[in-house]
Chain A
Amino acid sequence: MTEQSPSRVPEPRISPSVAPTTNSHLVIEDVTKDFGSQAVLKGVNLSVARGGTTAIVGPSGSGKTTLLRLIAGFEHPGTGSILLNGSPVAGDGVWKPAHKRHVGYVAQDGALFPHLTVGQNIAFGLSASKLDGGRRAVAAKVAELLEMVSLDTAMAKRRPHQLSGGQQQRVALARALAREPELMLLDEPFSALDAGLRVATRRAVAKVLNEAGVTTILVTHDQAEALSFADQVAVMRGGKLAQIGNPFVVYTRPADRATAEFLGDAVILDAWMEGSLATCSLGGIPVRRPPAQGRVQLMLRPEQIRIAEDGNIRGVVVDTDYFGPETTVRLKLAVPPKLAGAMPDHRYPGGGEVITIRHWNASIAQPGMELCLRVVGEAVAFPVNGDGPST
């Protein structure tokens, strides 16, 4: 990854899945953006590989939509520059307006033109004079695009308001695909859909874009959507990119506590780091590349903590929430036996923390029961003072 500004945000410790120098379709360099006195983007660097899928994920107000609008050409960057296919389109006195960038854009609600039919919407960016065969070719192209997004070609005659939300999004995608853009920008296109439709539409869209080989950038506040959709996830917070990497890496090895908690449920425990082993209320847990020695905060995903037949790590069930396929169990951890009764150890930070784990079998966890626990895999350690890196 290109270097981050030298301030608080940690250098992403995991290199992104794609190196920026080779075949980058889109490069964003030190881009900032202010709205009045409010700094929305504070120096963003991002590189997107040709044909790759990148999700920009962050809480609302983190600047992710602004970044997308800068790429589309709807806004001018304050400073910094944006390069498409290696040539600058914004910054350094260069400005290429949206209609010349050849970038596809699907807005949150689809932004279909209400005065046009579905077919006319899809054909909006096509010009009959440039296609061989004129209007008939346009009609054929519209039908082809409708099929591509799995819609009935008879829908071409309908009006946007006669479609469901998911159908509208597919039409918006077909409309953007009509001009065969090499880069597609999706601005929370699934967030207005209800849960079941959201997953189905997301899969369908991902499939279409993948088959067309279009470089895709998805902006979303839904971490599950980002993790499942993209092969590169960029976590945005406070106008900066906190971490960039492949979904597995950013989820299992987040760069800081805030990223960890944003991307999913996290169990955070005080721990003592010696070498690559962290000792905490859940016993000794291996940590790869520990950022510090001594007192640290340890992060585990709830699914890493399993209920075991027996063992010396124990916890008492405080309460449970039944969700059907799984149960959320809140446990109060016991002091591990080998430390119990020993001298109070300054290195041993805890005991008695309440953590939340998940289990498929509701019947084994009743309040007051004592359960044995074991930890699967590695933990991630964060330095104790704030979220910043120790070095």
Chain B
Amino acid sequence: MTTQASAPEVSGRTTTAGRGKRPRPPFGVSAVAVLAVLIALFSLVPLGYVVFMTVATGWETAAALIFRERVGELLLNTVLLTVFTVPLCLVLGVGGAWLVERTTLPGHKVWAVLLAAPLAIPAFVNSYAWVSAVPSLQGLFSGVLIATLSYFPLVYIPAAATLGRLDPAIEQSAASLGLGAWRAFFRVVLPQLRIAMTGGALLVALHLLAEYGAFAMIRFDTFTTAIMVQYQSTFNGTAGNMLASVLVFFCLLLLLAEVRSRGTARYAKVGSGAQAKALRLPLHAYQMPAQLFLAALTALAFGLPLAFVLRWIMAGGAEIWAADELVPALLQTLGYGLGGALVTTVVAFPMAYLAVRHPGWFSKALELSNYITSSMPGIVVGLAFVTVSIRLVPEMYQTAGVLIAAYVLLFLPRALVNIRAGLAQAPKELDEAAQALGTPPLLAFIRVTLRLTAPAAAGGAALVFLAIVNELTATLLLSPNGTRTLATEFWTKSSEIDYAGAAPYALLMIVISAPMTYLLFQQSKKVAGQ
């Protein structure tokens, strides 16, 4: 399995005369492996739940519940939403990234941040602002509009990071082979963006499948909103479960599609040598249109939501700032955010450690389980945890522990990616150097590896924190009675059409999210360099 775990076991010799300690794998690799397996099994609970429920329902019932007109409508809605939104996000994300990173655009540093800024606004807040602006918004078109404006940064951020690091020598080679700037972009630059684009498209599509609040607010039905309605009316109905299994099926299909389209070609820089700075193309006559395009995009995706939140705050006056409601919500949100971020980071560590230090089929299998889990929508995780906690550990049902566990599961991949990058910066040679200098293994691990991984782990924790602050679906399903987070309070108030009352919660979420989003943007540049 791993080189160290399978190390010495000298048969028959190890017990002689107690002259020394039996050779032992260093730093409990096997303990870490056991831990990682437990975490992986835990992370497969939602998928297991859906499979179990589908099997338990029986084929006849399941077929009757799945192959019906209502499911057809939801399917059409979801497919159309995806088919329109994903390409739009790709065009806006890649186009924006190209303008910001590869053209002589005045103010490109400011635009670079502004294009990532919409991520600081939760999709359901964006939806709320748009409904305030255009009350008649409804159906597919508004769904596409809001989803595109909320999610295009998911493509923009990786695309910008890749473009900024692209070796200009590749474009120069294309030019020397007779390609003009446009043809070079399509034949050489765009293929280099394939990983960023497929990865970003997958993220957008998964968000579309998982989002509840944004679509519920404009009364656009998707699988997730339909499952929520079922859950609220029948609690744990078979119909809802079957919708969930169709939803999970689509999520897995998306994963498969991404793996297939990512391809096997090598995109990292081949060969050695220092890399020159990226070239910037002069825009000439296109300067004005480019600036206008970016201004319009930013205004719609960031300016409009912010403006309408502020407008409701002005309209609401002093009375909407009820400290006895706001302060507990803020504290609870911070509590769940910090607690969830901490637990998630700790849980992610063993898996990241195995993946980096002991690569092999074992850590690959762990990663696969993690990859599958990362596609599970919050609604499915919520349903699974509600059912499992009621059936297996009733005393845990509706406790903070279950909600934190759901957060861990939903956001484990974010922490994992960061800790892995951090661990890669702390090669085991450094641990060994410390041991050769007389430091015992565990202490060497703490003084060197943990210390060097800490910044990356903190970055990962910040991203998990951001995600928990803006999480709505699983929180609605799992939070203990009396729990009030910023997201759930916002949702309750805006569902009661108390838009002014909801505004302070929206503003607080945006204010908390903004620095985290900036951190995410900064980190993407570093991760792309590895």
Contacts and interface: CB of A to CB of B under 8 A. Distances in A.
Interface of A: 35-36, 72-79, 88, 90-105, 107, 109, 111, 113-115, 124-125, 172, 175-176, 178-179
Contacts of B16: 92-93
Contact of A36 (B6, B17, B434, B441): B6
A111 B444 contact: no
Contact of A35 (B3, B20, B433): B3
A99 B436 contact: yes
Contacts of B511: none
A76 B436 CA distance: 15
B21 A99 contact: no
Contacts of B433: 105, 107, 111, 113, 172, 175
B3 A95 contact: no
Contacts of B3: 35-36
B421 interface: no
26 contacts: A73-B435, A73-B436, A74-B432, A77-B8, A90-B23, A92-B13, A93-B10, A93-B14, A93-B19, A95-B22, A95-B23, A97-B26, A98-B436, A99-B436, A99-B440, A102-B438, A109-B429, A111-B429, A111-B432, A113-B434, A114-B425, A124-B434, A125-B437, A176-B436, A178-B437, A179-B437
Contact of B438 (A78, A172, A179): A179
B7 A94 contact: no
Nearest to B8: A76
A179 B451 CA distance: 23
B448 A113 contact: yes
Contact of A78 (B10, B435, B452): B10
Interface string B318-362: 000000000000000000000000000000000000000000000
A95 B452 contact: no
Contacts of B24: 95
Nearest to B25: A76
A26 B202 CA distance: 58
Q: Is the interface of A mostly helix, strand, loop or mixed?
A: loop
A136 B499 CA distance: 66
B430 interface: yes
A125 B432 contact: no
B522 interface: no
Contacts of B429: 107, 109, 111
B441 A97 contact: yes
Given A76-B23, A92-B13, A111-B430, A97 B438 contact: no
Contacts of B427: 111
B234 interface: no
Nearest to A80: B10
Contacts of B13: 92-93
B30 interface: no
Interface in B411-457: 425, 427, 429-430, 432-441, 444, 448, 451-452
B61 interface: no
B232 interface: no
A105 B19 contact: no
A96 B19 CA distance: 11
A37 B518 CA distance: 49
B243 to A, nearest CB: 47
Contacts of A176: 436-437
A104 B451 CA distance: 23
A35 B4 CA distance: 9
B135 to A, nearest CB: 55
Contacts, number: 97
Nearest to A103: B436
B173 interface: no
Which of the four size classes fits the interface of chain B?
35 or more
Q: Which 5 A-B pairs have the closest CB atoms?
A: A125-B437, A76-B8, A105-B436, A94-B20, A98-B435
B93 to A, nearest CB: 33
B15 interface: yes
Given A92-B13, A105-B433, A175-B433, 19 more contacts: A35-B3, A72-B436, A76-B23, A79-B10, A88-B19, A90-B23, A92-B16, A93-B15, A94-B20, A96-B20, A97-B26, A97-B440, A98-B441, A99-B438, A99-B444, A105-B432, A105-B436, A124-B439, A125-B439
Contacts of B444: 99
A95 B21 contact: yes
A83 to B, nearest CB: 13
A115 B19 contact: no
Contacts of B435: 73-74, 97-99
Contacts of A78: 8, 10
Q: Which of B6, B437, B452 has the most CB of A within 10 A?
A: B437
A114 B433 CA distance: 12
Given A124-B434, A125-B439, A95 B20 contact: yes
B466 to A, nearest CB: 26
B438 A125 contact: yes
Nearest to B15: A93
B150 to A, nearest CB: 38
A73 B441 CA distance: 11
A28 to B, nearest CB: 16
A114 B110 CA distance: 32
Interface string B144-181: 00000000000000000000000000000000000000
Interface string B20-49: 111110100000000000000000000000
Contacts of A103: 436
Interface in B442-494: 444, 448, 451-452
Nearest to A178: B437
Q: Which of B6, B13, B435, B440 has the most CB of A within 10 A?
A: B435
Contacts of B434: 113, 124
A93 B17 contact: yes
Nearest to A89: B20
Given A92-B13, A93-B20, A114-B452, A75 B7 contact: yes
Contacts of A74: 432, 435
